[in-house]
Each structure stands twice: as structure tokens, then as C-alpha cells.
Amino acid sequence: MPDIAASTVHLPPGTWESVLDCLCAHFATVGRVQWLDRMARGRVLDDAGQPITPATPYRAGLCIRYWREVADEEPIPFAETILHLDQHLLVADKPHFLPVTPAGRFVEETLLARLVKRTGNADLVPLHRIDRLTAGLVLFSTRPDSRAAYQALFRERTIEKRYEALAPPLPEPVFPLVRRSRIVAGEPFFRMHEVDGPPNSETRIEVLVRGAGDWRYALYPHTGRKHQLRVQMAGLGAPIRHDPLYPVLMAEAPDDHARPLQLLAQALAFDDPLTGERRRFESARTLESPLAPHSTLS
């Protein structure tokens, strides 16, 4: 079965006798027994693909490829859907709470790992990311030789992205509203915030439904800053429902599956760089019933 791509590390300068000693010192949270187990299963290689053993001598700058693993990884009880698959692209409809790529405590319970296992294609690479707490569309490249053409859609901002969100009313602004602001890293490191200065983010905001409680908004990000939509909506005074980071950082707690972030990557549209064909994909998910099962679009 194909595997997700390995992580890499170049060994830093030091006086260790073996690669094993260096890895144990460099990754303080991974124990020696875990490294020995990975080596025994061929999960630690050099850049030529040769297995690293406990006796492999240390050399500064040596490139090591290894596969991240998390013991007793908690399953995420929601399934992704493949909306489209051809020789160049895969379009996935991601549930809330599922990360796109391995990070932190998530390795196997990620959209990428699940799709590699389902399709048998180890060349899958996400062309963009959405937050773990956000549901909706993620576009993947299925092969290296056409990847750059599709990556350019995001780099050159020629792909149209549409999100939906539930958030408190904003009765004062005239819609559609264009929010331009400067977003930079804040404290803690994983939170972003708006500051004075030249704008580096832009989103067009429309109102779809003026509800008795929350309103339903359509959000069209022109740029792709980290947490852009969440930060900008909070900055306007309408934080997205169930957001644990904005405007106030909530105490760390297990995921509450009954209260998913009410943000959905609802649609992607673009001119195919290989064929010129106009393509549009829409999520089958809705914000009203985030825990309901979803079917694949034909």
C-alpha cells in the first residue's frame, strides 16, 4: 500500500556517534525505543533510500527521511468524500475536524493520509490548505508532471474560492463589503491578528440570509492568509460561530463534535490550465447539519 510522503531532516552539527543518537537528541519527544522500532520496520532512510540502522554513523548534514507516527492516534469519526477524480486532479470534500496534512498529533487521521490509502496514489499533493476546523473543498494534484500548472492557479490568484459562514449580524456596513487588512502572526504563535499597515489580505463579503439569530454570509477571499476569514470576520464584530480562537482564545479542550466551526469552503472555480475548460466544484455539505452523512456528487 502506498504511503504518504516522508518527512526530512538534515542532521545538525554535533558530536554524536550514530544517527540514532542524533535523532534522539534532536527530537526530544520521540523516545529511543520508538526510533529503534521505526528503523526495524524500514521507516528511517537516507536520501538514497537506504535504511538507517542503529549502527549507522553520524555525519553532519546527512539527509534523513522518516515517517511520522503518533501512538494511539484518536480517530476522527467523520468521513471525507471524493467529488471528482481524473488523471490530474482529485477534489475532496473534507469534514470538520480533519486536518489536510500531518501535523502535531495527527498523522494517519488526515485527509492526505486517508486519500493515499483510498486511491493507492502516493503522488497526491494538496494544492492548497484549509483549516482543520473548516469543512469543504480541497484540491489535490494526482501527478507530478502537471502539478506546477495547477499550483499556479493559487499563486497567481486566478482560482475563485467561495466560502459560507454563520456569524452574528452586521447591520451597519453596505454589502457587498470588501475587507482589506494587514494580518500578521500574533500570540500565541498559532493565532493571527490585524494590525495597522499596508493590507496583505482581501475578502469580499456578501449576505445570503439575514436570519433571526446568525446571518449566513458568502465570503470570497482574494488572498490566502492564515485564518484570514476568521480573523477578518471577528475584526468586523461578527466572529464565526463556534470559533475557539477568535476573537477570544478559548481554553484548550477536546474537540466538541456537536459544535463545529460554522465555516465551509463551498466552491472552487477556475479555467483548467491544461485544457482551457471552465471547471467548478461545489461541496455537498451544509452548515445546518454538519454531522449528517454526505453522499458523493456525480
Catalytic residues: 131
Residue 231 phi/psi, 5-degree rounding, is -70, -45
Residue 180 phi/psi, 5-degree rounding, is -115, 130
Give the three-class secondary structure for 146: helix
Give the three-class secondary structure for 85: strand
Of 100, 90, 101, 83, residue with least CA distance to 142: 90
Strands (E) located in 147-251: 160-167, 177-185, 192-195, 201-209, 215-221
Q: Grid coordinates in use for 203?
A: 475578502
Contact (CB, 8 A) for 97 and 111? no
Contact (CB, 8 A) for 134 and 96? yes
Task: Give me the sign of the Cα torsion angle 236, 238, 243, 247.
Answer: positive
In terms of Cβ atoms closer than 10 Å to its own Cβ (0-12, 13-18, 19+), residue 98 is buried
Contact (CB, 8 A) for 9 and 60? no
Of 98, 123, 50, 120, residue with least CA distance to 290: 98
**Distance (Å, whole) CA 124 – CA 107:** 15
Of 128, 226, 239, residue with least CA distance to 185: 226
Strands (E) located in 56-145: 63-66, 81-85, 89-94, 125-126, 135-141
